Amino acid sequence: MGSRRVSRGETGSRRNYHRLVEVHAVGLTQLGGAYLSRGSIGILAVVGLGLLQGCDDFPRDSKRTLEEVRGGGRPLRVGWTQAEPWVRAQPGPGGPEGLEVELVRRWAALVGARVEWVPGSEAQLVQALQRHALDLAVGGFSDSAPWGSRIGQTQPYLKAELAIGAAPGAAVPESWDGVEVRHDRRRPDLAGAIRAIGAVPVPVEPGQLAPLGAAYVQEMEALGLRATGKRLMTERRVIATAPAENALVLALDRFLLPREGEIGTRLAEEARR
């Protein structure tokens, strides 16, 4: 789980919170001379978030975004760009669909915010966030994106490992050079990761990945694939935010971080769609 830059003006307590969350990513660590399991550290991180929430007027948004959108005071402006399975276009006035869209809608409902969906390319969304023309953006963003220093982002809410799976009975090659590996045609970004190991990417209809296909580890069983042990890359998913919106980011983190297992389950369900 990658580190997040602390915005100018954040206090020492805010930094301590982010250290807690970063520690949560470690499988086993030492705290105060005693070793704690990942689960225990996760509990500590969430408790720390709750304690910080009790501090008066802490943390603050540079534009008072969270304060303004609570209770529907003004719309929560959320940019989106197509990126299966995280975000997908949906005909009609209801806005986009997808795993990240669902997360934003659920969080907005908890804080009483009404969402205004704004479509655009990734570059357009980043520019709009920089200008505070948008509050959030979704589109399968990762914490390693090159624009990370120009805008804000949540802590990574999911570690998504892309790997190659094999259908039952399919042989797993010793070398991947020249081997055809299928991928969902709605996810063209997977082609580069397949080429990186010398294999040949083959776009196919959803669910037609046999005999060898690239998918997230959480999706393998739902797609009828078994793990081959060949990992392609690891992506740490985040939701992008306007810069220096510290209260907004903290509120989102409190919602997202305890739900990693639930989000992984939803990713598997999306694979069956």
Q: Is residue 1 part of a domain?
A: no
Residues 69-83 pLDDT 10s: 998 889 999 999 999
Q: Check whether residue 187 and residue 86 sit in a common domain.
A: no
CATH number, position 68? 3.40.190.10
Predicted confidence band of residue 177 (pLDDT cuts 50, 70, 90):
very high
Asked if pLDDT for residue 232 goes beyond 90, the answer is yes
Q: Which two three-digit tokens encode residue 229?
A: 């042990």
CA atoms of 253 and 218, how far apart (whole Å): 22
Amino acid at 134: L
Q: Check whether residue 250 and residue 125 sit in a common domain.
A: yes
CATH number, position 202? 3.40.190
pTM of the model: 0.79
Q: Check whether residue 105 and residue 223 sit in a common domain.
A: no
Q: Is residue 25 part of a domain?
A: yes
Q: Check whether residue 172 and residue 110 sit in a common domain.
A: no
Q: Is residue 3 part of a domain?
A: no
Give which of 90, 188, 85, 82 is closest to 139, Cα–Cα. Answer: 82
Q: Check whether residue 146 and residue 215 sit in a common domain.
A: no
Q: Which two three-digit tokens encode residue 245?
A: 């919106």
Q: Which helix (H) or strand (E) element contains residue 271? A: helix 260-271
Q: Check whether residue 38 and residue 127 sit in a common domain.
A: yes
Q: What is the pLDDT of residue 50?
A: 52
Residue with token string 């009790």: 54
The least confident of 25-39, 86-100, 135-149, 189-203 is 25-39
Give which of 206, 210, 207, 158 is closest to 186, Cα–Cα. Answer: 206
Q: Is residue 249 part of a domain?
A: yes
Q: Check whether residue 114 and residue 80 sit in a common domain.
A: yes
Q: Is residue 19 part of a domain?
A: yes
Predicted confidence band of residue 27 (pLDDT cuts 50, 70, 90):
very low
Q: What is the pLDDT of residue 58?
A: 58
Q: Check whether residue 245 and residue 190 sit in a common domain.
A: no
Q: Check whether residue 64 and residue 189 sit in a common domain.
A: no
Q: Check whether residue 227 and residue 253 sit in a common domain.
A: no
Q: Is residue 83 part of a domain?
A: yes
Residues 189-224 pLDDT 10s: 999 999 999 999 999 999 999 999 999 999 999 999
Q: 176-186: buried (b, 16+ CB within 10 Å) or exposed (e) per residue?
A: beeeebbbbee
Q: Check whether residue 151 and residue 34 sit in a common domain.
A: yes
Q: Check whether residue 115 and residue 243 sit in a common domain.
A: yes
CA 231 to centroid of chain Cα atoms: 19
Q: Which helix (H) or strand (E) element contains residue 24? A: helix 12-24
CA atoms of 24 and 39, how far apart (whole Å): 8
DSSP assignment letter at 142 = B
- Cα dihedral sign for 250, 256, 259, 264? negative
* The total number of structural domains that make up the chain: 2
The residue range of the domain holding 120 is 12-157+238-271
Strands 226-237 and 158-166: antiparallel
Q: Is residue 5 part of a domain?
A: no
Q: What is the pLDDT of residue 57?
A: 55
